[in-house]
Amino acid sequence: MDPITIGLWVTGAMFVMVVIGMRVAFAAAMAGFVGLVWLRWNGFGYNPEQFWKALTISVKIAGQVPHSKVSSQSLSLIPTFILIGYLAYYANLTKALFEAAKRWFAWVPGGLAVSTVFATAGFAAVSGASVATAAVFARIAIPEMQAVGYNKKFAAGVVAAGGTLASLIPPSAILVIYAIIVEQDVGKLLLAGFIPGAFSAVIYASLIIGIAVIWKNVGPPVTGFTWRQRFAALPPALPIVAVVVIIIFFVYNPFGEAWGTPTEGGAVGAFIVFLMALYRGMRWAELKDALIETAKLTVMIFTIIWGVLIYVRFLGFADLPGAFADWITSLHMSPMLILVCILLAYAVLGMFMDAIGMLLLTLPVVYPAVMALNGGEGVSAAESTFGMSGTMCAIWFGILVVKMAEFCLITPPIGLNCFVVAGVRPDLSVQDVFKGVAPFFLADAVTIALLVAFPAIVLYLPSLA
């Protein structure tokens, strides 16, 4: 049998295992392992005497992957980013941020909602995970908005949408995962997330102001903060600024040489937040909790990573990605249309799947195809389809798929952020939150369209570094 046919069967079987509820990490590893055995036994002409040999070799190939693939310096960013988020929570940074944002921005129409968006964007700078951000702000921001007469569904929608900013604005675990899978520079990808993340926040804020101006009763402004109060709210939020500055300067220093590698930047950022949490009274019991929670989330992510990489190892032997890339480039369709179709396919898949699992399962096949569509890894901007070099195309596509994955966190039926917000606020049903978040679909659609139409929004910062 043709290796590519084996690749297709195994990939189909993997999706069946995922659908019947097998844990994604193990379904992928199982598919990869069985695929390796099948491929090799196929190579031995299905000789029964050589089955044992095919099995042993495959066991050994698969058994290398967990140690071999997790032992990487750049992957160490993931646990560090997760730890920062948990420590920031114990350092009380969320409240400080919301308070500062409120005093500075609440005076505009829809002011508290705008403040919430900017505070979630700020918290995104210390949090690598969207769902955690939504959960935290659901508790702080929704009651305040309700107290001044906001529509509660709308308030919930603002928090659910604001939470999605955490994965674009660095630190972002999902961007690191993307960089690892596609073997691109982690620093450049993190840098690339900044402007689209801030851009999304500004589009959310504009949407809120627009809604508040048209429907006066949705979100009344809150005024009366003095300049003195405004400045007094800044110092407690300062560690966030410190972390942002550190991570940026470790990746790219506009004034001179960068301070170090992204790996060091992430860890030094965590160290600063740790000191802050100590100062705020964190003790061993809380630290132990934070460490165990960090370990759980880290292990969950890494299990998918090595599981999927066993499948990827099998793909390497079957050369399925090469075949898929050949097929995509042979289609008689405009490359831009193909790209849009790929993004739409992610939107559909994302309705049913977790973002990390979705990216890990699909990228090994889809990414080489997108690169081939642009003209290959080493293509120059002038000769490429999308008008950007291979490296830049990798970054641009990465930001696009991560934004798609984040979009799926607020879309029904499985918009995880909406479930979390409803879970925190017993007075809100999941349907209420989905109704409240609906206007933000529009905002996200506009953002994605602009990122596709104007790649410079994504590529400006990384092209400097």
Q: Which residues bind Na ion (CB under 5 A)?
A: 124, 166, 169, 172, 351, 408, 411, 414-415
Omega within 30 of 0 (cis) for the link into 413: yes
Nearest to 258 by CA among 351, 185, 352: 185
User: Which lies closer to other proteins via its Cβ, residue 82 or residue 244?
Assistant: 82
Subset of 150-189 contacting other proteins (CB under 8 A): 183, 185, 187
Name which position in 10, 14, 18, 448 contacts other proteins (CB under 8 A). Answer: 18
**Which option in Na ion, other proteins, none does residue 64 bind, with CB closer than 5 to 8 A by kind?**
other proteins
Contacting range for other proteins; rule: CB under 8 A; set: 147-155, 233-241, 350-358, 449-457: 350-358
Name which position in 271, 278, 435, 463 contacts other proteins (CB under 8 A). Answer: 271
Query: According to the binding rule CB under 8 A, does residue 346 interact with other proteins?
Result: no
Name which position in 9, 51, 286, 441 contacts other proteins (CB under 8 A). Answer: 286
User: Which lies closer to other proteins via its Cβ, residue 384 or residue 391?
Assistant: 391
CA distances from 15 to 27, 286, 349, 358, 361 (A): 8, 39, 12, 11, 9
Query: According to the binding rule CB under 8 A, does residue 302 interact with other proteins?
Result: yes
CA distances from 66 to 62, 210, 311 (A): 8, 50, 12
At closest approach, how far in Å is the CB of 210 from other proteins? 30
At a CB cut-off of 8 Å and minimum separation 6, what does 123 contact? 88, 93, 94, 97, 133, 136, 137, 166, 240
**Which option in other proteins, Na ion, none does residue 23 bind, with CB closer than 5 to 8 A by kind?**
other proteins
The CA distance from 288 to 294, in Å, is 10
Nearest to 124 by CA among 137, 113, 112, 110: 137
Query: According to the binding rule CB under 8 A, does residue 79 interact with other proteins?
Result: yes
Name which position in 42, 50, 51, 70 contacts other proteins (CB under 8 A). Answer: 70
At closest approach, how far in Å is the CB of 334 from other proteins? 29
At closest approach, how far in Å is the CB of 63 from other proteins? 2
Query: According to the binding rule CB under 8 A, does residue 288 interact with other proteins?
Result: yes
Query: According to the binding rule CB under 8 A, does residue 380 interact with other proteins?
Result: no
CB of 172 closer than 8 Å to CB of 407: no
Residue with tokens 């049913």: 352
* Interhelix angle 262-279/186-214, nearest 10 degrees: 60
The CA distance from 33 to 47, in Å, is 19
